[in-house]
Structure 1
Amino acid sequence: MSFSISALLLFGLLLAMLIRSKSLGIGSALVAVLFGYYLSRTGAAAPIDQVMGALGDAIPDLDQ
């Protein structure tokens, strides 16, 4: 649960920064979609949570 809250905060901040800088592209669209899924907690949120959890677990293992 703590990872999904921090991911929600991260995607919200990234989305706000992308909107302020008026940069449009694939990256901003991906951030907006991920933020929307975390915010609405639809049926698609569970697989996205699993992928984000797996990425969160894999990132610390990259420096080994």
Structure 2
Amino acid sequence: MVLNLSAVFVLGVAVFFLLRARALPAGAGFVAMLFGFFLASTGAAGPINRGVAAFITALSDLTL
């Protein structure tokens, strides 16, 4: 069975649980969200997306 998850969903869930556990202050969570939002609108978005895709492909190609 193949499961596809969006990186945005996974990271959003991680930030949600960090905020809920009070491991990340609300202000820092807001700044992290704004940083991601503005980073996505820059020229860095393409290379970051390709790097994450390559990393995930490499992880899926690992065999135990």
TM range (shorter): 0.5 to 0.7
Gaps of 5+ in 2: none
Which protein, 1 or 2, shows the higher relative CO under an 8 Å CA cutoff with sep ≥ 6? 1
Q: Deviations over 1:9-55 (max 9, x none)?
A: 1111111111111114xxx88xx37x815884432111110110011
5+ unaligned residues in a row in structure 1: which ranges? none
How high is the sequence identity, in percent, across the aligned residues? 36
Deviation of residue 62 (structure 1)? 2.0
How many residue pairs end up in the alignment? 55
Between Structure 1 and Structure 2, which shows a larger proportion of helix residues?
A: 1
2:47 maps to 1:9? no
Please give the TM-score of this superposition, normalised by the length of structure 1: 0.61
Runs of 4+ residues over 3 Å off in structure 1: 37-41
